[in-house]
Amino acid sequence: MEPTNDDDHRTNGSDHNHLAKRPKLSSSALITDSEIRAEFAHHQSGIARINNGSFGSCPSSIIAAQKRWQLRFLQQPDDFFFNHLQKRILHSRTIIKDLINAEHVDEVSLVDNATTAAAIVLQHVGWAFAEGRFQKGDAVVMLHCAFQAVKKSIEAYVTRAGGSVIVVHLPFPLRSEEEIVVEFRKALAKGKANGKKVRLAIIDHITSMPCVVVPVRDLVKICREEGVERVFVDAAHAIGNVHVDVEEIGADFYVSNLHKWFFCPPSVAFLYCRKSPVSPDLHHPVVSHEYGNGLAIESAWIGTRDYSSQLVIPEVLEFINRFEGGIEGIRMRNHNAVVEMGQMLATAWGTTLGCPPDMCPSMAMVGLPASLRILSDNDALNLRTRLRGHFGIEVPIHCEEIKDFQDGDARVTGYVRISHQVYNTVDDYLKLKDAILQLVRDGVTCKMLSPE
């Protein structure tokens, strides 16, 4: 879609309900395999790129659209900022509002990434501790595999203001969702001990490493039953990867990156904040002249910067709707493919998946042969580096520490996290399979690998 000077879009929530709906396309209008290859032809040749989960992927047509928006600004910045930018950002927010089933567009803010969203929510909680609205020692509950940036934001905003942290240690490999529920209930009970309160629960919708889909609806419901004051779902990987319905999930805050699985260029995310009495007290950590006008407005202007990644959302939706089934069709095909490829790899290596297939999103954890001796995070990093440098494979490696692990133990401690996006082919996974089997045949252990 070419940027135009026509900004006369109606911008209230009801006027854009049609935008998130997938248009009915004839079979001839659907994207073809050759067109998909052309959209991602800028990917480095010869690399099996099975790590979409880390940084996402942006199609060529969206890169071109972004460049047009950037040029539009550079041609006449004053006219663009004063007369067009806010209308266009509102248009993008309205599309997201419809996609995630938010009640009102004012509940949707566009921010740089999930890290920024975590800072917004945890800054708000930190102020409540610092100002005495929350009592010293009241708790924030989080999963042990939360993103490192979330852990650091808790340190920066909450613990220094007097809050305590309760960590939910999830088992891995996982056999069922119930294992998560059991551990989560234990953590809430610990947070409520001695008359204290759990002021915030942070729940990953999809954990990153190791990767599993968390039963967020069930955990949010438990939080409500147990009197948890606020719930923040960190869903960095979610949109485009699992079905997202914020009304159904019921959390107070929900964030998802749009550059991971939604084909946007870096960096853009949405932060949903359910309307409540605390809404006016949520603020962007970068203070601009819009401070006090509501989080969505504050976030739409944080000074002179490149806003183009937020402006291409309409073009991204058009790209997604070229696929049969739109966003739901893409995510289901990716899920089915990653499970199939994961099971193929596990069979070849004599291992298993790290969780049941229905707990895999468009990513899957696959056990690596125990003979590789992945016994530390450094071992995992060295193996990942070897796969990149010697085999042209980009895939994250996870080490799952086993406390009573002994020499000669045949239990699996290392896992690859494979992703599947529309540009991936079976050959990418066969390349990984053969590389690992070659290392095993050569008697390689991670102790032999040095950083490169």
Separation CA 105–CA 294 (nearest Å): 12
- What string of DSSP letters covers 342-388? HHHHHHHHT--BSS-GGG--SEEEEEPPGGG---SHHHHHHHHHHHH
Low-confidence ranges of the chain (pLDDT < 70): 1-28, 406, 408-409, 451-452
Distance of CA 387 to the CA centre of its chain: 24
Nearest to 393 by CA among 427, 431, 430: 431
Do the strands 269-273 and 108-111 form a parallel or antiparallel pair, or are they unpaired? Answer: antiparallel
- Percent of the chain exceeding pLDDT 90 equals 84
| Confidence at residue 15, expressed as pLDDT on a 0 to 100 scale | 36
Which alpha helices (DSSP H) does 111-198 contain, by range? 114-130, 148-157, 177-191
- The amino acid at 230: R
Q: Which residues lie below 8 Å from residue 36, measured CB to CB, with a gap of 6+?
A: 422, 423
| Confidence at residue 406, expressed as pLDDT on a 0 to 100 scale | 67
Q: Are 219 and 363 in contact (CB under 8 A)?
A: no
Helix, strand, or coil (residue 417): strand
- Percent of the chain exceeding pLDDT 70 equals 92
Q: Are 227 and 167 in contact (CB under 8 A)?
A: no
The answer to whether the peptide bond before residue 276 is cis (omega within 30 degrees of 0) is: no
Domains of the chain from N-terminus onward: 71-319 (3.40.640.10), 326-448 (3.90.1150.10)
Query: Between the CA of residue 21 and those of 51, 164, 321, what are the distances in Å?
Result: 29, 44, 9
Predicted model pTM:
0.91
Q: Are 235 and 260 in contact (CB under 8 A)?
A: no
| Confidence at residue 401, expressed as pLDDT on a 0 to 100 scale | 84
Torsion of CA 31, 35, 39, 42, to 10 degrees: 160
| Confidence at residue 18, expressed as pLDDT on a 0 to 100 scale | 35
Burial environment of residue 54 by CB neighbours within 10 A (0 to 12, 13 to 18, 19 or more): middle
Do the strands 253-257 and 48-49 form a parallel or antiparallel pair, or are they unpaired? Answer: unpaired
Structure tokens at 408: 């000669």
| Confidence at residue 147, expressed as pLDDT on a 0 to 100 scale | 82
Q: Which residues lie below 8 Å from residue 194, measured CB to CB, with a gap of 6+?
A: none
Q: Which residues lie below 8 Å from residue 98, measured CB to CB, with a gap of 6+?
A: 16, 17, 19, 20, 21
| Confidence at residue 1, expressed as pLDDT on a 0 to 100 scale | 43
A 10 A CB-CB count for 290 gives 18
Nearest to 374 by CA among 297, 435, 440, 281: 440
| Confidence at residue 360, expressed as pLDDT on a 0 to 100 scale | 97
| Confidence at residue 28, expressed as pLDDT on a 0 to 100 scale | 59
